[in-house]
Amino acid sequence: GAVVSQHPSRVICKSGTSVKIECRSLDFQATTMFWYRQFPKQSLMLMATSNEGSKATYEQGVEKDKFLINHASLTLSTLTVTSAHPEDSSFYICSARGLVPGTQYFGPGTRLLVL
Amino acid sequence: TQLLEQSPQFLSIQEGENLTVYCNSSSVFSSLQWYRQEPGEGPVLLVTVVTGGEVKKLKRLTFQFGDARKDSSLHITAAQPGDTGLYLCAGAQADSWGKLQFGAGTQVVVTP
């Protein structure tokens, strides 16, 4: 399967600071990437769809000004959590859309802890 | 509300036993994926099924897509401790730009 990386894998920050998470497709070009959030013992919740060269499409209830997404190239999408607060602490996972319809390849996730 | 109903939510079995996880919906999907996720890691794609009635086998894992493409099942034969993990089904609908609808997940624990 395709390889997707995320950086950093873990981050701890103070309340009010901004955190950037990178998602890279290592061995293929991903025109579409997705960002998810996952709480303990729960399933994945889609936050937004990131399309290369255009604005991201956010799911209902997700604040676009708080979760900034940039997909500047075919191999890189970034999620910036602005003015992070403790309630933003979560596991953030990105994925890249594969060639087979419906297939997505997931990154290893980023654990964010806001103090 | 969850578009895909996954059951059971939790399954604890002994090594060597069989298990089945179900994924049901009232909606039709163009494809359905099964993933396995371990704590602190991203989901890993196990299989994609696209044809109604399709059956795919991956070693001890058997995946079935319903004839109407509304439901799917995952069957594990002779489970091993290494099969422990969170199993997630996810469906894609036509014209959804590849967006997936995830089930709530089934936590499987296989004890030696």
Cα(B71)–Cα(B62) distance, integer angstroms: 14
Q: What are phi and psi of A52, to 5 degrees?
A: -60, 125
Mean pLDDT for B3-23 is: 95
Contacting residues of B for A2, CB less than 8 Å apart: none
Mapped onto helix, strand or coil, the DSSP state of residue B14 is strand
Give residue-wise pLDDT tens across range A64-91.
Answer: 999 999 988 889 999 999 999 999 999 9
Give residue-wise pLDDT tens across range B48-93.
Answer: 999 999 999 999 999 999 999 999 999 999 999 999 999 999 998 8
Residues 58-97 of B with CB under 8 A from A: 88, 90-92, 97
The amino acid at residue B39 is: P
Res A1: pLDDT: 62
Is the Cβ pair B45, A103 closer than 8 Å? yes
Is the Cβ pair B41, A109 closer than 8 Å? yes
* Separation of first and last alpha carbons in chain B: 36
Give residue-wise pLDDT tens across range A43-71.
Answer: 999 999 998 888 899 999 999 999 999 98
